[in-house]
Amino acid sequence: MIGATLIWGSTPIVGILSNLPSPVFVFFRVVFAFPFIFYFAIKKAGFKEFFKLKPFWPLLISGIFLGINWIFFFWALNLTTISTVVVLYYTGPIISIILAVIFLKEEFNKYVLIAIILALIGVVISNFDNGFKFNFGAFIALLAGLSYGFLGFFSKIATMHHRAVSVTAWQILISIILTAPFLFLNHFEFGLTTLIIVLIAGVIHTALALFLWYDSLNFISVSIASILQYLDIFFAMLFGLFLGQIPTFNQLAGGVLIAAAGVIGVKK
């Protein structure tokens, strides 16, 4: 699991180095990841169960939000620092908890309330450096976090009816369809270096990391896995140092608070 979070923590570096528009980068990432994820899903679930699509709507909506979520995430990385993006992005799981409380009637207790308050304080503190001036990159990162929250919520509904690995494969396939039109709407250069980068993003940062994630669930609980995923924030900040992006104290403090909120929300 820590290996998966380490790989995901380096994903922002790969996205920035590709020099591709965010939806184009997402397209190639999911295209190169899909064959491996599809094979893994078929191996786990079998053809018959994989293509048992009723109900299909949670697969469709969660797949759309996966594509939107990654488009906003990599767009934000082109506008502001990695630390700013990952801190705001990880408000997503808290949003998922709020949506589950409202629409799935999950329990709302003091731990959920504390998690929400800590996440809000974390967002505020992490933006102290801007003097609360409008930061378009931070705004896009918040949209990424919001769409991440909806992704988590609809994924939860989808996994009530389908295997989690099958849900992931369908989400990636739907993201391919969603992002394909952007190949014709954006100007970009695609050379050998870019090909290698997007291959790494698809095979290593998506397929391998997801395999490690699912395989680790054979040995640890989902709640522990959900807690460990918050290491992404700090791994991403660490990798940002290679681009000369040094996280500020406020960004670190905001990351700690949002991670703490996620942990409390999971362990509620």
pTM assigned to the model: 0.92
Instruction: List pLDDT tens digits, range 171-194.
Output: 999 999 999 999 999 889 899 999
For the chain, the domains span: 2-266
Alpha-carbon distance of 143 to 79, in angstroms, equals 13
Alpha-carbon distance of 158 to 87, in angstroms, equals 27
Alpha-carbon distance of 7 to 222, in angstroms, equals 19
Alpha-carbon distance of 212 to 130, in angstroms, equals 37
Instruction: List pLDDT tens digits, range 48-90.
Output: 889 888 899 999 999 999 999 999 999 999 999 999 999 999 9
Answer for the pair 175, 116: CB distance below 8 angstroms, yes or no.
no
Instruction: List pLDDT tens digits, range 139-163.
Output: 999 999 999 999 999 999 999 999 8
Alpha-carbon distance of 195 to 214, in angstroms, equals 27
Answer for the pair 180, 27: CB distance below 8 angstroms, yes or no.
yes
Length of the chain: 268
Alpha-carbon distance of 84 to 12, in angstroms, equals 12
Answer for the pair 103, 188: CB distance below 8 angstroms, yes or no.
no
